[in-house]
Structure 1
Amino acid sequence: MIFLTYILFDLKQVTALLIFSVCVPGVFVDSDEVKSVSVMEGDSVTLNTDVTEIQRDDLILWMFGPQENRIAEIHKQIIDMYGSNETFGDRLQMDSQTGSLTIRNIRTEHTGLYKLQILRTKGTSYKRFNITVYADLPIPVITSNSSICLSSSSSSESRCSLVCSVLNVSDVTLSWYKGISVLSSISVSDLSISLSLPLEVEYQDNNTYSCVIYNPISNQTKHLDITQLCHTFEGM
């Protein structure tokens, strides 16, 4: 009896090992990692599958947005770009060898989460990409609050009020710089609005001032010409 009991226990171990080896290797855990991608509006971006070569029975599926809408697919080496897709139109291109997805002339409305599903004979794997599309930045405009900066006999200094402005922007910061030092800043997140930032300087100030608008991947700078924007007259 002792011998038979030992054999039965050993067979259970073998059976368990066989079940484990059959069920587990065919499944790849869906990672929570999301790769962040930043791009300027109008540029092209490619999302790589890291697949060297697609086999005939492979299924490569790309989805977009919270509803995970299908936007591109390759199965049995046939590509379906979902030509009626209203969000992307004809901007999508899928590599027939790797399944990587390219978005041409990308727009701000293409910002969002892209999910890749790869089904192969050895199992299923997933990738996620979070794309942020930034709009082209305008060059800031510097104007004077008044056409004339006044000086008086009681004051040896003449001061000028200026405003730096940008129209219809989002996800940016607008700053005044004195040399390389930040004097003041204002930021906006998602909404498309106009920004303005005031500055008061002395007419005889020889420092270098500039107004800069920037986002994480781009910037535009406007340098201040005090003599052009600030004028004085005596006797006040």
Structure 2
Amino acid sequence: PATAPSSLTEVNNTATTITVSWTALNSSDADGYVVNVTSDTDTVQTVQVEGSSNNTITLNGLNVETTYSITVRAYQQLLGPASTISVQTLPVINSINWTLVSSITQLSNTQYYIDCLTTTDINPSTDVYWLVNGVMKSNSNYSSIDVLTYNNTLLVYPDPLGVSINVTCIAMIGGVNYSQSVILHAPSSPPNNVRGFILNGTSIKVNWTNSSETNGYVIEYTTGGVTRNVVSTSEDEI
């Protein structure tokens, strides 16, 4: 053939697959196509696509987060000129983030959602699990965001006494573990120089030395062992 397949385009990609398409040639100009996949000049796959109208192919068994050069040539008795594009497969874990569910002032009931976005190449019920400070947790809460992504969610209850929590999302594919972590930090020590001042018969003022380790403070007011009020502030007095 004298003409290379035009409009070679990436249609879809996952962590282990790439789908490409191109504009089909007339049957008089081609009997089919040869698709060649290389990575760092090494040939990974060579696939023959029979029929000039068959202009889409999904390439399977690729490596995670790897850039591939994909070349398509039409053939009759001989190969024609090439069209080439470069496509990268996706990571197994796209991201991990935390979201505060309940108010930070609810000291005994603070909750965080940890969301871990993974590729749909894996089965989230069997191939994803969690480590919370080294303790394994199963992955029972997940949903499909789109055809490429699962959202795996873990509900975490931090220690109200202020212990940092390291949460790791682990996804397995092809016998290899991939992981990302997020840390819910706790300050290493309580606020310093806490002082209280009586303002009047119904009000007091409390201040302390600010710490660079914190995003804010929670103040709990109790009398007779009963919690009367809990408030939060980012300032160094209340």
Pairwise TM-score range, normalised by the shorter structure = 0.3 to 0.5
User: Bigger relative contact order, structure 1 or 2, given CA contacts below 8 A and separation 6+?
Assistant: 1
| TM-score normalised per structure 1 | 0.38
Bigger fraction of residues in helix: 1
Question: Of the two, which has the highest radius of gyration?
Answer: 1
Bigger fraction of residues in strand: 2
